[in-house]
Every structure is written in C-alpha cells, then in structure tokens.
C-alpha cells in the first residue's frame, strides 16, 4: 500500500530544531506528512505530489549569500503554503519582498495583535484580540511581496502574520508548532482542513492494515528475526510483523543485564505468553558487564554495548538460521521517523552522537540481511497508539522511555554489579511511589540515577559513607522540551525515606529540577 493514497503534506526543513514538531501537529490533525531537507525538497515535491506544503524555521539568515531557499517549482504549482519563521522570510524574499537584519530580535514568549480576520484564525482568534505565541527570530520581513496583506503584528514583528489568501500562501513569524503557542495546533489544523481541504484520514487503524499488507508483500515466505530491547518500539514492531506473517518471525531478546528491575521477565512473559510469539531469550549479562568493566566515559559505554549487542545478536541469528527451517533473510528493527529524518538532515543532525547505541544504524553487512522497519514513518506517540490498536497491555505501551544502553548511562563512572543492584532497587521504589500516588501517567519520564559520589551521613547511632541517588521526573508533550515535575515535599520525603531505609548502600537522595531545552532529543 502507498502512503500517497492519503492526502499528503510536504514539510520543507530549513534546519529548525523543532521541525519534527510541525510533523507531529500535522499527524495529530489526521494528515500524513513527510519531512525533507530543502536541498532535496524539489525531488520530494515531484515524487510525492503533496496537497499542501509547510516551510519550517531555520538558523540561517536570508540576507546572507547562499542561505537556503525553497524550490521554485513549489511556488509554480499552486499548492497552499504555510511558511513559519525562516520559512516566512525566504518565501517573502523569493516572491519579491525584502528581509533585513539589524532590527530588535524577538525570542521566547510574545503577544500578537490580530488586525483582520483570516481563514487561518477562523474559530480561534478574533480581530482586535491579543494572543500568546512563541517567537525565535533576529531578522524580519520589512517589505511584503505583491498580493500579501498583514493580519497580525507583535512588538518586534510588523508582519507576525501575513498572507496572500488568493494564492493560499500563509506566513507566521512565530512558531505555531510548539506548545508555547497555545492555539498553534488549531491554526495548523485550519491550514490543513479549511484552507487546503485535506481529508484527515491518517489513522492508526488505517496504518495497521496498510503496513500488514506491505510487510507481507516485502517478506513473502521468508523468515524474519526481530531484536527486542525491552522498550515500546521494538515490541510494537514485533507484534505488527507477527500479525502479518505469523511464525515466520522469531524474536531475539538479548538481556544485557542493564535493564530495570523485573523487565526481562516482563518481556519474556508478554511475548511467549500473551502473544505466543517465538522468542529466543539470550542471557548475556556476564559478557556485557565484563566488557564494561572499568569503562567510565558514557559514549564509550554506548559503543561498547552496541558492538557487543551486535556480536551476541549475530551469533543467535546464525543459530536460528541453522534450525533446518531455512535461512533468515530479513532483520526487523523498531526504527522511528525521527531517526530517519536526522539521517538525511542537511545539517547532519545530532543523532549520530546522541543515539550511538544498538537501536540506531542497523547491523553490519556481514549479516547479509534485508531490513524490515515497519515503524520508520511513525513518531513515538504514534507508536504507542499503534500498540494500543494491536492490543498490547497498557502497562507496556504507556511505560516511560528507556534508553537503549539501559542503566549503564544512569550509573555514571564504571559499571559494577553492586552499583546496578543499588540503582535497580532505588529506581523500582521511586516508580512504585509514583504509581501509588497516581502520577505515573502524568509524568513523561521518571528514573533514578546513581551519582558518582559518596557522602558521610548518620543513620541511627552510627556514621555511614554511602552513595547518593538522584531522582528525575519530567513533564513533556512531545519529548522535545520538558520541565521538571513539581512533586510536593511529602511525596519526595516518602520516596527518599523508603530508598534510604530499603536500599543498602544509599544514605542520601536528591531531586533534580533541571529543565530540558528545545531541540534536544533524548533525556538520560
């Protein structure tokens, strides 16, 4: 099945760190979209034949020579365009307007005043009203192209919203895609449905049926192996593939000894019991801990874990292929759309460093297998929705994100069994208290970290010299930005008291109130 059977939006990426949020808002409105860098947007536009186009923001300056531009064929096509921030500037400059630097910049929260009604605001903003938005610009448009009219202004953006409604070109200086613009998703929805006339038929039920057909067509009668990490992504991929091809799939779960408490048993029980999917469980904890002995640098840990994971997985794949049922020709991975986007980003993207463990980049060519990546068009929230569609238990689908390197990156310094045991127990108590308080689903991610320091304390009538555990909990809508969860002191007191009393080797607990800035990908 072709995704182009749905209405499709092309997002032209000019390098904004929140471009992925545009795609998420479009998908949330029930419309399928793809992100392509400006340098490849012409080819993507011709191939995809989108019904509408959105230009992202970006870090470049339009007046600078060689700064990015949108392909001319987009303007010639007559499709509706929504241009955001840098997108507004390059659209205006390409159509005969003027962009200048040297004016007052505008970063963070701002207010726009609505000067005239527009289809973009229909049912959302009223003429004469003032509404909060999120700005992030230095340059500004100083002359609009012919046919454009100003619809909203802010203190430092005389063309906060400008449009040529006859050509269905709408531009905003602010970012409607971020949660800091409270009505932004509704504005994007107006552009998609009221202005562009798109149907909004992109659903997880439709994706499920189409992807099953695609998997069957690609795999045929061949065998597939899928590596399970214990996380949501690989689990959903495995269940979807099993629904498509049944026992042609074998899952491989490599237990590297760096999982949360009870997690290995949960994975095995879910796949062998609940779904009855063939599963090879490889206990390789000793090998991984030996390889990590004395390794302190977090990036070195990731690469050590990734290399050994591949070696163990490769050996198990060869064993499975020798069972007399024929060779294994396909490898299934839980690759997600953000990984795909960053792999082709014109700026290179930060994923090569941030996600350098075994979940990204595939396996080496020596394995001679073709890839099946059924989730490569989905964001994390869509994967969760697909998991529910497939019948995965809510406790599994709704679990907090967990990094591929596991507890190794939450145990700064060298990894030892003793440290891992302390961390597992502390983490389990913390999450147990969060669940008892009814807060688990209100928090995007929560976990404990074993800090690489020891402190002197007094417990009872004696002194101790033991470890410090830090607790983290953040709220987030999209995983791109996050803020610490505001626990009350009574909760923190209960959690800390239990950890100190029940976990031998801990005498102090602290709470991390760090926020997560825009554009970062993973919180570990």
Q: Which residues are catalytic?
A: 85, 175, 177
SS3 call for 517: coil
- Asked if 247 contacts 223 with a C-beta cutoff of 8 angstroms, the reply is no
Helices vs. strands in the chain: H and E counts, helices first: 16, 20
Dihedral sign for Cα 266, 337, 353, 180, please.
negative
* Residue closest to 248 by CA, chosen among 222, 277, 228: 222
- How far is Cα 59 from Cα 50, in angstroms, rounded to an integer? 25
- How far is Cα 406 from Cα 426, in angstroms, rounded to an integer? 15
Angle at 440 between CA 434 and CA 444, to 5 degrees: 120
**Between the CA of residue 218 and those of 120, 148, 234, what are the distances in Å?**
42, 48, 19
User: What are the structure tokens assigned to 130, written together?
Assistant: 């003032």
* Residue closest to 218 by CA, chosen among 371, 90, 105: 371
Give 262: exposed, middle or buried? Use CB within 10 Å, 0-12, 13-18, 19+: exposed
- How far is Cα 306 from Cα 248, in angstroms, rounded to an integer? 26
Dihedral sign for Cα 302, 305, 308, 309, please.
negative
- Asked if 207 contacts 171 with a C-beta cutoff of 8 angstroms, the reply is no
* Residue closest to 36 by CA, chosen among 86, 210, 47, 351: 47
DSSP string, 81-116: EEEETHHHHHHHHHTT-EEE-SSPPEEEEEEEEE-S
Give the list of residues 6+ apart from residue 461 with CB closer than 8 angstroms, or none: none
Segment (H or E) for 501: helix 489-502
**Between the CA of residue 85 and those of 27, 40, 135, what are the distances in Å?**
21, 20, 8
Give the list of residues 6+ apart from residue 324 with CB closer than 8 angstroms, or none: none
SS3 call for 251: strand
User: What is the torsion angle, in degrees rounded to the nearest 10, for the CA atoms of residue 58, residue 61, residue 67 and residue 69?
Assistant: 60
User: What are the structure tokens assigned to 388, written together?
Assistant: 């529910």
CB atoms within 10 A of CB 129: 13
């Amino acid at each position: 099945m072709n995704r182009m059977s749905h209405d499709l939006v092309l997002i032209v990426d000019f390098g904004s760190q929140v471009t992925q949020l545009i795609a998420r808002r479009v998908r949330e409105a029930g419309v399928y979209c793809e992100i392509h860098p400006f340098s490849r947007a012409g080819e993507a536009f011709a191939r995809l034949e989108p019904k509408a186009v959105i230009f992202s923001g970006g870090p470049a300056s339009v007046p600078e020579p060689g700064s990015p531009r949108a392909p001319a064929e987009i303007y010639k096509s007559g499709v509706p365009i929504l241009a955001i921030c840098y997108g507004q500037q390059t659209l205006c400059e390409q159509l005969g307007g003027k962009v200048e630097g040297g004016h007052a910049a505008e970063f963070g929260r701002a207010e726009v005043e609505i000067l005239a009604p527009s289809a973009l605001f229909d049912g959302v903003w009223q003429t004469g009203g003032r509404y909060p938005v999120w700005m992030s610009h230095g340059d500004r448009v100083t002359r609009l192209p012919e046919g454009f009219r100003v619809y909203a202004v802010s203190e430092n953006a005389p063309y906060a919203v400008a449009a040529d409604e006859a050509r269905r070109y709408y531009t905003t200086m602010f970012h409607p895609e971020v949660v800091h613009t409270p009505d932004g998703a509704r504005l994007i929805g107006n552009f998609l449905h009221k202005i562009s006339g798109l149907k909004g038929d992109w659903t997880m039920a439709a994706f499920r049926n189409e992807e099953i057909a695609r998997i069957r067509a690609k795999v045929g009668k061949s065998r597939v192996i899928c590596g399970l990490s214990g996380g949501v992504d690989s689990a959903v991929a495995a269940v979807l593939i099993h629904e498509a091809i049944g026992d042609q799939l074998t899952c491989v779960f490599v237990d590297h000894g760096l999982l949360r408490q009870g997690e290995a048993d949960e994975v095995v029980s879910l796949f062998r019991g609940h779904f009855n999917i063939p599963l090879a469980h490889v206990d390789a904890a000793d090998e991984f801990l030996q390889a990590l002995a004395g390794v302190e640098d977090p990036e070195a840990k990731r690469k050590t874990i990734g290399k050994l994971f591949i070696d163990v997985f490769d050996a198990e794949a060869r064993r499975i292929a020798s069972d007399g049922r024929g060779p294994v020709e396909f490898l299934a991975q839980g690759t997600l759309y953000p990984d795909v986007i960053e792999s082709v980003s014109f700026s290179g993207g930060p994923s090569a460093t941030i996600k350098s463990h075994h979940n990204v980049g595939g396996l080496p060519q020596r394995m001679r297998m073709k890839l099946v990546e059924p989730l490569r068009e989905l964001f994390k929230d869509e994967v969760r929705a697909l998991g529910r569609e497939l019948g995965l238990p809510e406790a599994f689908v709704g679990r907090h994100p967990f990094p591929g390197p596991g507890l190794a990156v939450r145990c700064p310094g060298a990894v030892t069994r003793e440290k891992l045991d302390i961390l597992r127990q502390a983490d389990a108590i913390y999450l147990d208290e969060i669940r008892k308080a009814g807060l688990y689903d209100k928090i995007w991610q929560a976990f404990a970290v074993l800090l690489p320091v020891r402190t002197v304390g007094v417990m009872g009538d004696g002194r101790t010299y033991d470890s410090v555990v830090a607790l983290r909990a953040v709220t987030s809508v999209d995983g791109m930005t996050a803020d610490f969860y505001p626990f009350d002191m009574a909760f923190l007191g209960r959690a800390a008291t239990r950890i100190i009393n029940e976990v031998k080797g801990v005498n102090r607990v602290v709470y991390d109130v760090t926020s997560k800035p825009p554009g970062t990908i993973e919180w570990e």
